[in-house]
Amino acid sequence: MSRRATGSVLPVVFGVLVYFHPASAQQPPPGYQLLTAPQTSGGLLLTQRQAVPSAVRFLRQGFHEVAPFFDRRPEALGGYAQTLDQYAEAGFRTTSRQLPITGVAFVVIGGGSGTLGFAFDSPATLAQSLPRLLQLATSLVGPSGQDPTPALNWHIEPFPDGSGQMELPDGWHYTFAQKGMVAAMGPQGIIERAVTTQVMSRAGAAQIAAMYPPNLRWPGPVLDPTDPVSAFVGVRAHNAAVIAQRSRQPPERILRVIEALPVAMRVPGLTQAAYIDYEIERGGVWRGLALAILGSVMSDGSWMFYETYVSSPAHSFAQNLPVLVRIWNSALTARHVVQERLDSALNSLREAGEIWRQSTQNRNQALNRMHNNWTEAFRGTRVIEDTRTGTRRDVNLGYSTEIVQRLNQQEGYDRYREIPLRDLNQ
């Protein structure tokens, strides 16, 4: 099992637990515990041993030891191991009482002992089980099988613009925040949450090219929303090139997508979503975990790409993941950001506006308008509103006026209007 091996390893990163009903519990193998999460299907076989020299050998041994728990010995589908052989993981499949089972196995060595876990689930319930089971998994990924998060000094920090809050440990600080979008960094890595990018479909870009001169063509990414992985790779490549051009530094580049796990979407206006486990070149190899969501194509051919991700140097990703996940889960505005930025749900817009008003009511109005103007220019987006339905969405700031004019020409009256950020936050 080498670092370059591939397979169904994304569930390992999450510590996904799979189909298992406690009422029909089987006896775990000798030396193993069977753990389950309340109100969630899934199970985890866990054992700890002293003086474990090799994560890979311990993992291979575990495949033989847990075989009696299932109908047959689990079949390894691929794996990943750190260079120092202190962490290893592998996806697997098997059956239990003639029902298909998928899962992951992982080994963490530290402090003179090794922790081995086998997480398993039915393929049909994997996506539904993931959020709750992820919380359980974070206590099993740290060194020596211990959760590193309690040792840190945690505190609630409001976003700099007052649009929400996250729980951060000492050493972390915000690098950006606007309307629920936020970025932060610290000793364990980085997080960017609720980041949206307006993308133009190929048909929409062709229509713009036919209607406008070259200097007014679409400046953003041009992609069709075929699947989350291709959208993730395409948007990341475009944004990295733009940032590199401004900073005159080499662009970040995705080295490989290790695994992608589809997530069912039941929100109107959102079409597809997936958790994506990937490696990226960022002054060294970093490993990241992203939730990518695709919006539906609008009448002008554009659609929205939503992304939340955490990332850390690849060699310490497994140890840092529990901290990153706790930060990810602590943001209070996450669901509302999806509604506001992608689905334009009015209730979420009102809530975001209320958060902003409560946090800025004592600020000087002139300074507030100056801050909003700078923020809008920095983000490069502006809200336009359909005055007939009240629906709002973000468009490119440099073309917002032309877009509104074109839409109004198509309707025959002033149905659409621009709303600058300074007016939106009043």
Q: What is the mean pLDDT of residues 137-152?
A: 57
What's the CA gap between 179 and 353, in Å, rounded?
Answer: 8
CB 179 within 8 A of CB 162: no
Greatest alpha-carbon span in the chain: 77
Confirm whether 10-143 and 150-343 share one CATH topology: yes
For the domain made up of 150-343, the CATH class stated in words is alpha beta
As a whole number of Å, the CA-based R_g of the chain is 24
Q: How confident is the model at residue 294, as a pLDDT?
A: 94
Task: Give 351's DSSP letter.
Answer: H
At residue 144 the predicted structure's pLDDT band, cuts being 50, 70 and 90, is very low
Mean pLDDT along residues 307-335: 82
Count CA atoms closer than 13 A to 393's CA, side-chain side.
25
For residue 334, name the pLDDT band (cuts at 50, 70, 90): very low
**Please, which pLDDT band fits residue 19 given cuts at 50, 70 and 90?**
very low
Q: How far apart are CA 113 and CA 151, in angstroms?
A: 19
* Distance in angstroms (rounded) separating the CA atoms of residues 112 and 48: 11
Mean pLDDT of the chain: 77
| Angle of helix 317-330 versus helix 126-137 axis, rounded to 10 | 110
Work out the average pLDDT over 339-356. Answer: 45
If you write DSSP's letter for every residue of 69-80 in order, what string do you get? GSSSPPEEEEEE
Strand extents, DSSP E, 30-86: 33-35, 43-50, 75-81
| CATH architecture entry for 10-143 | 3-Layer(aba) Sandwich (3.40)
Residue 173, pLDDT above cutoff 90: yes
Residue 359's Cα: distance from chain center in Å? Answer: 27
In the DSSP assignment, the letter for residue 179 is T
Q: Is the confidence at residue 324, as pLDDT, over 80?
A: yes
- Indicate the pLDDT class of residue 69, thresholds 50, 70 and 90: very high
Query: What single-letter amino acid sits at 111?
Result: G
Residue 17 has pLDDT above 80, yes or no: no
Spell out the domain ranges in the chain.
10-143, 150-343, 363-424
